[in-house]
Amino acid sequence: MSQQPNLQPTAPAVRDSILDTATPVPEAGVVPREQLARARVLVVGDVMLDRYWFGDVNRISPEAPVPVVHVQRQEDRLGGAANVARNAAALGAKAGLLCVVGHDEPGERIVQLLGDSGVDPYLERDPALPTTIKLRVLSRQQQLLRVDFENLPAHEALLAGLARFDALLPGHDVILMSDYAKGGLTHVTKMMEKARAVGKPVLVDPKGDEWERYRGATLITPNRAELREVVGQWKSEADLLVRVTKLRAELDIAALLLTRSEEGMTLFTNDGVLHASAVAREVYDVSGAGDTVIATLAVMLGAGRPLVEAVSLANRAAGIVVGKLGTATVDYDELFHSH
Ligand SMILES: Nc1ncnc2c1ncn2[C@@H]1O[C@H](COP(=O)(O)OP(=O)(O)OP(=O)(O)O)[C@@H](O)[C@H]1O
Ligand SMILES: [Mg+2]
């Protein structure tokens, strides 16, 4: 390390301005394991399979000027709503997953991986649907190509899912909507109305700029880009507060948690603005951190813990998960006994 002055002039300034307008979230204590085990979280949304093919490149194809990859290894990981459900289960909660998959090999693989993760699968099958899969071809740590298969689920499968939601609602404490804009949440508004009618909290990880469909959410967790799409670019923390307050009032959203990557996360409610600074020691892999955040929030609320405590723990979980390569979950011991 050379003796250079701090060359990151903006980072401290940004943090100062957040904490000028926001109160720090107090550090949470230990929540008993048994309490988390009683939390029953139902995740509804878009599932996907993240598949990785690893191989060597030794020649260029005679058919076109492209490398030929000889595939030697395949790795599969749960993505989207399935990754959220897996995160809730990893913390020791009971986690169910309601979604639509196809009648194909990736769909079967998702079922198998959910079983390994201890998630209760409530899968509607759409025989005409290719299960959403993102296939990456890699050679020497270099991604050469990504191939996506996806389509909108059929009407019938979505309606069956809505009926199944009614049946599942009484057996769960918290509903979590994980939106990846693949059509799995076509009936999100109806589902949220049903949950609200029986007094169950609904958490939403949003996508897109049509937030009318999330009306009445208990808690919504956009990242910076997702919030910007809806309220526009804010000029300052004070301006952000004005925009978020207006949005929450218009859509009857009780709480908004803005996740801000390396800046941590900011909670907006009628009680004011709270901020948790990022706590990551090392950052290896930030993808999926948002899934860990909302899963942790749902588990804590399902266990009956207050929102502010849930935010503190979600921030801590995110700080742990971004330090991991590969596995993207945090378990009970890591969350409570390793910091
Ligand atoms: N570079 C980083 N340094 C430290 N903490 C980070 C970093 N990136 C993410 N985090 C932690 O993870 C939380 C969620 O990250 P982020 O705001 O990027 O969510 P996201 O964009 O929804 O993530 P994704 O969609 O990739 O799962 C942050 O609030 C922070 O606590
Ligand atoms: Mg996200």
Which candidate, 165, 154, 162, places its Cα nearest to that of 127? 154
Decide whether any atom of ligand 1 lies within 6 Å of the 259 Cβ: yes
Which candidate, 249, 251, 231, 319, places its Cα nearest to that of 283? 319
Asked if 331 and 299 count as a contact pair (C-beta separation under 8 A), the reply is no
Evaluate whether residue 75 is within a structural domain: no
Evaluate whether residue 67 is within a structural domain: no
- Start-to-end CA distance of the chain, whole Å, equals 26
Confidence of residue 3 (pLDDT cuts 50, 70, 90): very low
Decide whether any atom of ligand 1 lies within 6 Å of the 290 Cβ: yes
322 alpha carbon, closest ligand: 1
Evaluate whether residue 137 is within a structural domain: no
Q: Is the pLDDT of residue 12 over 80?
A: no
pLDDT at 89: 98
Relative orientation angle of helices 81-90 and 289-302, to the nearest 10 degrees: 50
Q: Is the pLDDT of residue 21 over 90?
A: no
Model pTM? 0.93
Evaluate whether residue 72 is within a structural domain: no
Q: How far is the CA of 267 from the centre of ligand 1 (A)?
A: 15
Decide whether any atom of ligand 1 lies within 6 Å of the 264 Cβ: yes
Evaluate whether residue 256 is within a structural domain: yes
Q: What is the CATH number of the domain that holds 286?
A: 3.40.1190.20
Evaluate whether residue 209 is within a structural domain: yes
Structure-model confidence comparison of residues 120 and 8, the more confident one? 120
Confidence of residue 4 (pLDDT cuts 50, 70, 90): very low
pLDDT at 1: 38
Evaluate whether residue 104 is within a structural domain: yes
Give the number of residues written for the chain.
339
Asked if 202 and 169 count as a contact pair (C-beta separation under 8 A), the reply is no
Q: Based on the structure, what is the number of domains in the chain?
A: 1
Decide whether any atom of ligand 1 lies within 6 Å of the 262 Cβ: yes
Q: How far is the CA of 287 from the centre of ligand 1 (A)?
A: 8
Residue where the block lists tokens 């404490």: 173
Confidence of residue 284 (pLDDT cuts 50, 70, 90): confident
pLDDT at 5: 46
Q: How far is the CA of 291 from the centre of ligand 2 (A)?
A: 6
259 alpha carbon, closest ligand: 1
> Atom 22, ligand 1: which residue's CA is nearest?
290
Where in the sequence is the domain holding 222, given as residue range(s)? 32-48+80-130+154-337
The two tokens of residue 141 are 């740590």
Asked if 49 and 132 count as a contact pair (C-beta separation under 8 A), the reply is yes
Asked if 18 and 267 count as a contact pair (C-beta separation under 8 A), the reply is no
Mean pLDDT computed over every residue of the chain: 94
Q: How far is the CA of 84 from the centre of ligand 2 (A)?
A: 10
Q: How far apart are CA 324 and CA 280, in angstroms?
A: 10
Evaluate whether residue 19 is within a structural domain: no
Any idea which residues carry the catalytic annotation? Answer: 291
